[in-house]
């Protein structure tokens, strides 16, 4: 594989059809997303099992990300499932006391019962991902009276956002806590946390994962306005394995015009703090119904790649769309082309900083050496994948191989930009020369290197211990006495 940016694809009814899952995995999906907002535990575990079986048969690694639903900040339902039309200037009420199934042209119930206590006159409420805009005119008891500023068609259970943020709903619901145990059963590699507003939300999630016996990393979805405050976002990033720029709810809360600058900021912050970053939402939205994307979507994906995102995500395009394989192939092609731009190959990451850890120093030194001797590959013998994460923060066109006998580690690195998992068997009695030879043999076998190519290798003093990387060695393919 020459593509460095990873593709995260959501599974759903479309990928349950015969042959579709296999087709998107073959097309280049690196990590699959299981969305807890839809489906049963049995469906989720069945999809995970199908992915793992395919990966085993094809001698490769595919990561599993399971996405927690988060709080339901939604309207309730309309009588008999009708849709209503709201026009600019209409008066409409959100009523916490109204029957959840009896919404009408004048009002509708709300699933988030404390909303009347959290808004005030003049606030702007956004419904259905920005399609309908309501201005709060008054609150009477548990009833929010509004003026329709932007009308449209409204149907059951559409989302509610407060422009500017400020709703107090907990990031973790009781459903999420149960779903964490499902993630543990699935041995998920990552769990995505919806709507965190502080590092405390991430810390609570990590504690629940430990309690469930799940070693998944937490990906925090940045979708609330208050999460963008400098101190808050740094706390969230540093507590997480990575972040997702979740542009749907975030765009509704802060306004779409602010999204591009915030996306660039979040990608930069994540990378500079040695964390993963995923760019998500509507990346190839038109391909839900069409076999080709719009040019604007192509530019969007390419810009995220040039900004340094680790992964780009497909949602309904693969979960429910008519052309899942086309969407993946298109995403892969756009990423690969964008990576040819010199901007994607040049990095000044941490050039002016000191390093506090030996293994971190070796990782940075290896990438510097590889870029300056025109190495064909960088290899990290790793137990945790941490060395390759540091390496991947440096923009380069040199492939980084995470070699390990830990399947869990090999699945986790599937989300790191420019890092490719490679299983290697290290016998207890192996000398380092034996291990070095195995590295070269593995790279040669998969076509990554050829005779006389240079390989930069990092490793630790003790072959079976993690966190001890302290050695860098340069190997020339075909030499003897590694």
**Is the confidence at residue 173, as pLDDT, over 70?**
yes
pLDDT at residue 335 in the model: 97
Q: What is the mean pLDDT of the chain?
A: 94
Q: Could you tell me if 245 and 267 are in contact, meaning their C-beta atoms sit under 8 angstroms apart? A: yes
Quick one: pLDDT band at residue 355, thresholds 50, 70, 90? Answer: confident
159-173, 228-242, 325-339, 425-439: least confident range:
425-439
Region of residue 292 (left: phi > 0; alpha: psi -120 to 50; beta: else): beta
CATH code given to domain 358-476: 3.40.1380.20
Mean pLDDT of 439-458: 93
**Is the confidence at residue 28, as pLDDT, over 70?**
yes
Among 140, 73, 147, 151, which Cα is nearest to 113's?
73
Listed by start position, the domains of the chain span: 6-70+170-340, 79-162, 358-476
Vertex 260, ends 258 and 263: CA angle to 5°? 105
Mean pLDDT of 314-332: 98
Among 4, 13, 3, 1, which Cα is nearest to 317's?
13
- Cα–Cα distance for residue pair 251/147, rounded to 1 Å: 22
Q: What value does the CA radius of gyration of the chain take, rounded to a whole number of Å?
A: 24
Quick one: pLDDT band at residue 468, thresholds 50, 70, 90? Answer: confident
Quick one: pLDDT band at residue 275, thresholds 50, 70, 90? Answer: very high
**pLDDT, tens only, 357-413:** 898 899 999 999 999 999 999 999 999 999 999 999 998 889 999 999 999 999 999
**108, 109, 114, 117: CA torsion to nearest 10:** 30
Angle between helices 41-57 and 20-27 (to 10 degrees): 50
Mean pLDDT of 162-185: 95
Residue 278 has φ and ψ, to the nearest 5°, of -115, 135
- Cα–Cα distance for residue pair 444/477, rounded to 1 Å: 8
Vertex 280, ends 197 and 391: CA angle to 5°? 90
pLDDT at residue 356 in the model: 80
pLDDT at residue 352 in the model: 72
Question: Percent of the chain at pLDDT above 90?
Answer: 88
CATH code given to domain 79-162: 2.40.33.10
The answer for residues whose C-beta is within 8 angstroms of residue 72's C-beta and 6 or more apart is: 111, 112, 173
pLDDT at residue 142 in the model: 97
**pLDDT, tens only, 84-107:** 999 999 999 999 999 999 999 999
**Is the confidence at residue 182, as pLDDT, over 60?**
yes
pLDDT at residue 467 in the model: 65
Among 281, 234, 288, which Cα is nearest to 259's?
281
Vertex 219, ends 284 and 209: CA angle to 5°? 140
Quick one: pLDDT band at residue 347, thresholds 50, 70, 90? Answer: confident
Quick one: pLDDT band at residue 236, thresholds 50, 70, 90? Answer: very high
Mean pLDDT of 52-69: 97
Q: Structure tokens of 212?
A: 């469930």
Cα distances (angstroms) measured from residue 158 to each of 111, 145, 245, 264, 419: 10, 18, 21, 29, 39
Number of residues assigned to the chain: 482
What is 6-70+170-340's CATH number, 3.20.20.60, 3.40.190.10, 3.20.20.140, 3.30.70.260?
3.20.20.60
Q: How far apart are the first and last CA of the chain?
A: 26
Cα distances (angstroms) measured from residue 333 to each of 294, 299, 327, 419: 14, 12, 10, 18
Q: How many CB atoms lie within 10 A of CB 360?
A: 16
């Amino acid at each position: 594989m020459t593509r460095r940016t990873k593709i995260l694809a959501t599974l759903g009814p479309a990928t349950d059809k015969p042959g579709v899952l296999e087709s998107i995995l073959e097309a280049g999906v690196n990590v699959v997303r299981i969305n807890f907002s839809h489906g049963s535990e049995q469906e989720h575990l069945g999809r995970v099992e199908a992915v793992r079986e395919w990966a085993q048969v094809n001698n490769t690694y595919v990561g599993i990300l399971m996405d927690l639903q988060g709080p339901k900040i939604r309207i309730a339902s309309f009588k008999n499932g009708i849709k209503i039309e709201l026009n600019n200037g209409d008066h409409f009420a959100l009523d916490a006391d109204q029957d959840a199934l009896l919404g009408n042209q004048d009002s509708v119930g709300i699933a988030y019962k404390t909303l009347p206590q959290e808004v005030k006159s003049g606030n702007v409420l956004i419904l259905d991902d920005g399609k309908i805009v309501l201005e709060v005119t008054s609150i009477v008891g548990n009833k929010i009276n509004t003026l329709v500023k932007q009308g449209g068609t409204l149907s059951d259970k559409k989302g509610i956002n407060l422009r500017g943020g400020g709703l107090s709903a907990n990031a973790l619901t009781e459903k999420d806590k149960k779903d964490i145990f499902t993630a543990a059963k699935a041995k998920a590699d990552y769990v995505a946390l919806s709507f965190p507003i502080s590092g405390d939300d991430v810390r609570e999630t990590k504690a629940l994962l430990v309690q469930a016996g799940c070693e998944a990393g937490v990906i925090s979805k940045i979708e609330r306005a208050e999460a963008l405050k400098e101190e808050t976002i740094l706390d969230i990033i540093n507590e997480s394995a990575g972040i997702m720029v979740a542009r749907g709810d975030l765009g509704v809360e802060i306004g779409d015009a602010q999204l591009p600058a915030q996306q660039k900021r979040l990608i930069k912050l994540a990378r500079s703090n040695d964390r993963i970053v995923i760019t998500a939402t509507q990346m190839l939205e038109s391909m839900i119904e069409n076999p080709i994307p719009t040019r604007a979507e192509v530019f969007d994906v390419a810009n995220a790649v040039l900004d340094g995102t680790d992964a780009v995500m497909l949602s309904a395009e693969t979960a429910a769309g008519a052309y899942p394989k086309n969407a993946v192939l298109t995403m892969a092609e756009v990423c690969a082309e964008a990576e040819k731009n010199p901007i994607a190959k040049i990095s000044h990451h941490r050039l002016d900083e000191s390093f506090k850890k030996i293994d971190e120093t070796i990782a940075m030194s290896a990438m510097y050496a590889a870029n300056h001797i025109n190495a064909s590959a960088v290899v990290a013998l790793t137990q945790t994948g941490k060395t390759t994460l540091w390496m991947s923060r440096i923009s380069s066109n040199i492939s980084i191989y995470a070699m390990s006998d830990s399947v869990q580690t090999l699945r986790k690195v599937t989300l790191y930009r420019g890092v490719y998992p490679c299983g290697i068997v290290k016998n207890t009695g192996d000398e380092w020369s034996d291990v070095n030879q195995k590295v070269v043999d593995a790279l040669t076998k998969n076509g990554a290197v050829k005779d006389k190519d240079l390989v930069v290798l990092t490793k630790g003093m003790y072959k079976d211990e993690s966190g001890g990387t302290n050695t860098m060695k340069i190997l020339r393919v075909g030499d003897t006495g590694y």
